[in-house]
Chains A and B, each alone.
Chain A
């Protein structure tokens, strides 16, 4: 039996969101071997030949020369001899499953495309609770198109058949699974392609909603966050620190520091010093999970979460344990400046082993941070607030701050993190008016 396979634009680069068809190397009617280039695509300063994922005959070009399409878009159809197609055993299996689930009536020979539904068609069918097996396909090889579904809905057929819903859902999940593994040919990343969302007919209606294009950086943030939350079992703990003496120390030194160095002496610099010294005592905090082992990093490279108007980046202070408070203050100032000016280089962003986020800078007193994958933990430094505190059974007004820690519970447990936080607290509270910056 003959089947049609879509060739899609693969995720050829992590930052790749779309590509332009530069030229077609194959035309409808041409035979294509597996892995043979079908077209050249263009992205940024790269020309790349795009290989076919299957062997077969080119049937149709879906995206013309010069057009730019998102990653994951089908760009051409290739007709393959069924069965012999080893590249896509999962797809074949899943379609069979879909057929059995729905009691698919047609013989495959008559209508090779009847078991295959495009995501747009599936979505449309789901919106209208349409059972796709009852729709007559007019597309290529009996394939059901959006038009067919709409015509079916308009005809009023199947309206009464609400019991079909469950079967449709089952069939659809099977087909979804097939769509997910629809081979890009190059399994370049493990990241599943984002589902394409049809907004047509839903967007309008004058509800005042608007759409924001997802920028590459937003996309990267989204993927990293999702990967962290889905892979790392997060746990959370918090400690409060009395920073009264630190406040006095900083107030004493900051003007002179500004005069001498030209930069702000921030609390964050003192916190980093306290954290780095604590990591030295608890090296397991500076580690990452590697399935069959835990890698404890030798260098202490602190990722600093720096927010901009519409993103958050984590530039790295390398070998933070080799720097004193003044050195850390300079690094913080420089990285923050480079971040705001968009001048960070790749090497500024690489090699982080532990992340610190100065959430207090925007007034937070408590946060639940997501670990900067693949690190083991992330610590936030919350706002310094004057509060009544009981000391020696007397009330005192002290400057207090919370430190929050999210941890990878595969690597770390409460006891070790408790001790680590206690050490950070001790380090911070031991700053006094005699402490040196250099």
Chain B
């Protein structure tokens, strides 16, 4: 790839922490970035941010997993989007670190599921630093601590128009703030999984970590798992 710059054999990554961003804006930003990366006008990018309260429904949709009606949603100030990632319904809101890796993956040796497993690994490795043993449930993509889900994952592979490979979009949502389950997840059956609940980093550790701090700490794990070298986290 022409534009890819390498440092110590690692591809360069443009990593940004954006703060709070409306879901619709973030979606447009992702689409714009994907196009720029396709045209090789932009480095591969990792967007880290938070959303205002939002429900998103992926392609594997089951309307019955949304437990609130439109009026209740409006009352609670929660936006609802139907989007083009894999997966069912999930909640985004303040206190949750959302990561959108926009990476160019070559068609040679591409493994969609391996990409999911790598996203999970980034979060598992970070939690491991705090002595939290997180893992996977074979049936359910995402990161789990025991029977509680701490991070949801749903991605899209956009076919590059000018090259053989794919550009990824969407990504992961990692719960940081304590009590996030009560904020938004109570209104849905997350990912349609009825028997398991949701947790957050601060719930597990009793710490008061901010989403921005989590973003800073997570980045090195992302670099290590995906073999990128990020410029300093642009804020």
Binding site for B on A (CB under 8 A): 12-16, 22, 35-37, 40, 42-51, 186-189, 342-343, 345-347
Name the B residues within 8 Å of A44 (CB-CB): 86, 112-113, 116, 141
A7 to B135, CA, bound (A): 37
Give A343's nearest chain B residue, CB to CB: B135
Inter-chain contact total with CB atoms closer than 8 Å? 93
Give B88's nearest chain A residue, CB to CB: A45
- B158, CB-defined interface residue at 8 Å: yes
Interchain CB contact (< 8 A) of B112 among A12, A37, A342 = A12
Name the B residues within 8 Å of A345 (CB-CB): 124, 135-136
The winner among B58, B60, B113, B135 for most chain A CB atoms within 10 A is B113
Name the B residues within 8 Å of A347 (CB-CB): 121
The winner among A22, A35, A44 for most chain B CB atoms within 10 A is A44
A51 to B158, CA, bound (A): 10
Do A12 and B58 have beta carbons less than 8 Å apart?
A: no
Do A46 and B109 have beta carbons less than 8 Å apart?
A: no
A14 to B113, CA, bound (A): 8
**20 further A-B pairs in the complex, CB-CB below 8 A; given A16-B113, A45-B116, A188-B110:** A12-B110, A12-B111, A13-B113, A35-B160, A40-B59, A42-B59, A43-B113, A44-B86, A44-B113, A44-B141, A45-B60, A46-B116, A47-B156, A47-B157, A186-B164, A187-B108, A188-B111, A189-B109, A343-B135, A347-B121
A48 to B59, CA, bound (A): 11
- B207, CB-defined interface residue at 8 Å: no
The winner among B112, B115, B138, B160 for most chain A CB atoms within 10 A is B112
Interchain CB contact (< 8 A) of B159 among A15, A16, A37, A342 = A37
Given the contacts A22-B59, A346-B117, A346-B121, A45 and B110 also touching, CB distance less than 8 Å: no
Interchain CB contact (< 8 A) of B84 among A14, A36, A47 = A47
Do B107 and A47 have beta carbons less than 8 Å apart?
A: no
Name the A residues within 8 Å of B182 (CB-CB): none
Minimum distance in angstroms from B46 CB to a CB of chain A: 18
Name the B residues within 8 Å of A14 (CB-CB): 111, 113-114
- B155, CB-defined interface residue at 8 Å: yes
- B95, CB-defined interface residue at 8 Å: no
Interchain CB contact (< 8 A) of A48 among B112, B117, B153, B164 = B112
Residue-wise interface mask of B (115-156) relative to A, using a CB-CB cutoff of 8 A (1 in contact, 0 not): 111000100100000000001101001100000000001111
Between-chain CB contacts (< 8 Å), 24 pairs: A12-B111, A13-B114, A14-B111, A14-B113, A37-B159, A40-B59, A43-B86, A44-B112, A45-B60, A45-B86, A45-B142, A46-B86, A46-B113, A46-B155, A47-B59, A47-B85, A49-B157, A49-B158, A51-B159, A188-B108, A189-B109, A343-B135, A345-B124, A345-B136
Minimum distance in angstroms from A20 CB to a CB of chain B: 8
A347 to B224, CA, bound (A): 14
Do B113 and A48 have beta carbons less than 8 Å apart?
A: no
Given the contacts A42-B86, A342-B138, A343-B135, A13 and B59 also touching, CB distance less than 8 Å: no
Minimum distance in angstroms from B94 CB to a CB of chain A: 24
Name the B residues within 8 Å of A49 (CB-CB): 156-159, 166
Give A43's nearest chain B residue, CB to CB: B112
Give A22's nearest chain B residue, CB to CB: B59
Do A40 and B84 have beta carbons less than 8 Å apart?
A: yes
Given the contacts A48-B166, A345-B136, A36 and B161 also touching, CB distance less than 8 Å: yes
Interchain CB contact (< 8 A) of B111 among A13, A40, A47, A50 = A13
Name the A residues within 8 Å of B114 (CB-CB): 13-14
Residues from 83 to 114 in B contacting A, C-beta threshold 8 Å: 84-87, 107-114
A287 to B141, CA, bound (A): 34
